Amino acid sequence: CLWVRNLRLKRRLPGPFAWPVVGNAMQLGQMPHITFARLAKKYGNVYQIRLGCSDIVVLNGDKAIRQALIQHSAEFAGRPNFVSFQMISGGRSLTFTNYGKLWKVHRKIAQSSLRAFSSANSQTKKAFEQHITAEAMQLVQMFLQQSADGQYFDPSQEFPVAAANVLCALCFGRRYSHDDLEFRTLLKKVNKFGETIGAGSLVDVMPWLQSFPNPVRSVYENFKSLNEDFYSFVKNKVGQHRETFDPEVTRDMSDAIINVIEYGKYSGLSKEFVEATVTDLIGAGQDTVSTAMQWIVLLLVKYPDIQAKLHTVIDKVVGPDRLPTLEDRHSMPYLDAFIYETMRFTSFVPVTIPHSTTADVTIEGLHIPKDTVVFINQWSVNHDPLKWTDPQIFDPTRFLDENGALDKDLTNSVMIFSTGKRRCIGDQIAKVEVFLFTAILLHQCCFESDPCTVISLDCSYGLSLKPLQFYLRAKLRGKLLGLVS
Ligand code: HEM
């Protein structure tokens, strides 16, 4: 009867024994996504762990994750009310706000302004492409400079500047020099953002850790400070836009967002949501793209044969006298395959930003109550042996069919931008950026590591997985080209 049914539904989900006070925190290890996948083998793809005072449901594998995020999209579209989430973008973040009417309006505004400045028509597409090309060529110059006299350098310092500049060009109509120390320092600080936000971070689930000095408390304080610094940087720029705003002339994305939120039909969002939106977009688009590029150059030096094959493809399609453009993309499926394989193999956003349930929901026959924190293990989708042959092997050709064309079914199976209502809104922009950066860097340079060092794929865990420090050098291939008009 009903009582027995309720009892069965309310039964605790499967999962490991949770210790008092800490729960399973000590079992997560250095790479929680790998631990989550291992636990799935024992408890199934939907199970429960406890971190501090929070019960958390972990979803693994292609089937369970797509069932939850697509078939029950609204029920899984929430965000937990973690204290750290309220420190982001002045407390008005679109990314870290719970599901609801306000979030929907906010997301639509961000999505349509991104589209308006990147892909709305052929003119904006071209302008966007030129920003990326300009940044890629700055990178080429920086890399060649730093490789002078055969020296090896750490490339991780320059990618954040390049990725942030693409967003600054869209949002503020300006870029910053690689020599701008203030900008570099800000980005270096923001680089630590993901350490606190990544699934499995303990600051939000063990709030008592903040009350006495310990490493977690300092992570928390640094997190607060980096968010304040980044938000003030954006607020200052948006303030300048407000002072010179002319509704007849939309100079950039800040103007477009001011126009919708402050001058448009009632959006329900106060004017402070303008700086929050811009902070979110630059923040989300900067670290992810720059991490993708770090993995790409690392894999290029780790696998010189693959790099050589990419050089051959680019030389054949583009030739020595011009830079690659977006139009070349469909003629270079092997380059796209290399990028998809980098995303799959590294799964550098291994677990999405934590979700929460907005209502009671049943998945794979298991009941999950409203307001439960949910971790979505994207890594497990990309390494599912039922889906991928030898998932632990890096092999771009897995994405090519017998005619050498890109297998769209397989590329769509890679999960790095999540799916459902919270899917990344910058996925198209990110793919264009990563393609052009990679194509231009490879067209202009050959990358090599120090033969005396072994290239390791070890990384640090956070919202994104970042390779440990590594060194390489760049050599010019052919002539150094200027900007295409
Ligand atoms: C959210 C991945 C680039 C804007 C996300 C999420 C992931 C992700 C995994 C969380 C989805 C979830 O919680 O289920 C990536 C990757 C990128 C990238 C791998 C680059 C390779 C960008 C760019 C932008 C952007 C370039 C914008 C300029 C956002 C925003 C959200 C988001 C605003 C929050 C969406 C929401 O909560 O409704 N992204 N992203 N991302 N991303 Fe990206």
Pocket perturbation via mutation, ligand 1, pick of 288, 289, 419, 465 by most ligand atoms within 8 A of CB? 288
425 alpha carbon to ligand 1 midpoint, in Å? 6
Distance 352 CA to ligand 1 centre (A): 9
CB 263 within 8 A of CB 235: no
> Which stretch of DSSP H or E encloses residue 57?
strand 54-59
| Closest residue by CA, ligand 1 atom 15 | 417
Share of the chain above pLDDT 90, in %: 83
pLDDT digits (tens, 9 = 90+) for 131-184: 999 999 999 999 999 999 999 999 999 999 999 999 999 999 999 999 999 999
284 residue type, one letter: A
pLDDT of residue 93: 96
Type of residue numbered 367 = H
* 211: three-class secondary structure by DSSP: helix
| Nearest ligand 1 atom to alpha carbon 429 | 26
| Secondary structure of residue 406 in the 3-state scheme | strand
Mean pLDDT of 312-316: 98
Residue-wise pLDDT for 75-107, tens only, equals 999 999 998 899 999 999 999 999 999 999 999
The burial class, CB within 10 Å (0-12 / 13-18 / 19+), for 455 is: middle
With beta carbons less than 8 A apart as the criterion, state whether 377 and 33 touch: yes
DSSP-derived secondary structure for 288-324:
HHHHHHHHHHHHHHH-HHHHHHHHHHHHHHT-SSS--
Span from the CA of 249 to the centroid of ligand 1 (angstroms) = 29
How much is the pLDDT for 154? 94
Distance CA 196, CA 199 (A): 8
The response to whether residue 425 sits with its C-beta less than 6 Å from ligand 1 reads yes
Integer Cα distance of 154 and 57 in angstroms: 38
CA distance 398 to 334: 10
pLDDT in tens, 2-18: 444 444 445 579 999 99
Sign of the Cα pseudo-torsion (103, 109, 115, 118, in order): negative
CB atoms within 10 A of CB 471: 15
CA atoms within 13 Å, Cβ hemisphere of 437: 28
pLDDT of residue 451: 87
Single out the residue of 86, 93, 82, 371 nearest to residue 207, CA to CA.
82
Q: How far apart are CA 107 and CA 120, in angstroms?
A: 17
DSSP state of 358: S
- Give the integer Cα–Cα distance in Å for 347 and 33: 10
Around Cβ 7, how many Cβ atoms within 10 Å? 9
Question: So what's the ipTM on this one?
Answer: 0.99
How far is the C-alpha of 107 from the C-alpha of 424, rounded, in Å?
A: 10
Give SS3 for 77: coil
Residues 395-413: tens digit of each pLDDT: 999 999 999 999 999 999 9
Question: Could you tell me which of 101, 82, 368 has the C-alpha nearest to residue 206?
Answer: 82
CA of 295 to the centre of ligand 1 (A): 18
Mutation test residue for ligand 1: of 278, 424, 434, 435, the one with most atoms within 8 Å of CB = 424
Given a contact cutoff of 8 angstroms between Cβ atoms, the answer to whether 380 and 64 are in contact is no
- What is the distance between the alpha carbons of residues 409 and 66, in angstroms, rounded to a whole number? 15
Dist CA 203 CA 183 (whole Å): 28
The reported pLDDT for the residue numbered 197 is: 74
- pLDDT of res. 245: 96
Q: Residue 203 corresponds to which tokens in the numbers above?
A: 């600051």
Confidence at 24, pLDDT banded by 50, 70, 90: very high
- The contacts of residue 33 (CB under 8 Å, 6+ apart) are 347, 350, 351, 377, 378, 379, 380, 461
Q: Please indicate whether residue 430, judged by its CB atom, sits closer than 6 Å to ligand 1.
A: yes
Instruction: Return the ligand 1 atom nearest residue 433 CA.
Output: 26
What pLDDT shows up at residue 482?
Answer: 75
Question: What is the enclosing helix (H) or strand (E) of 66?
Answer: helix 62-66
User: Which conformational region is residue 229 in: left (phi greater than 0), alpha (psi within -120 to 50 degrees), or beta?
Assistant: alpha
pTM of the entire predicted model:
0.95
Token representation of residue 19:
């210790």
Q: For 172-228, how does the pLDDT look when each residue is reduced to its tens digit (9 = 90+)? A: 999 999 999 999 999 998 888 887 777 767 777 777 766 666 666 777 888 899 999
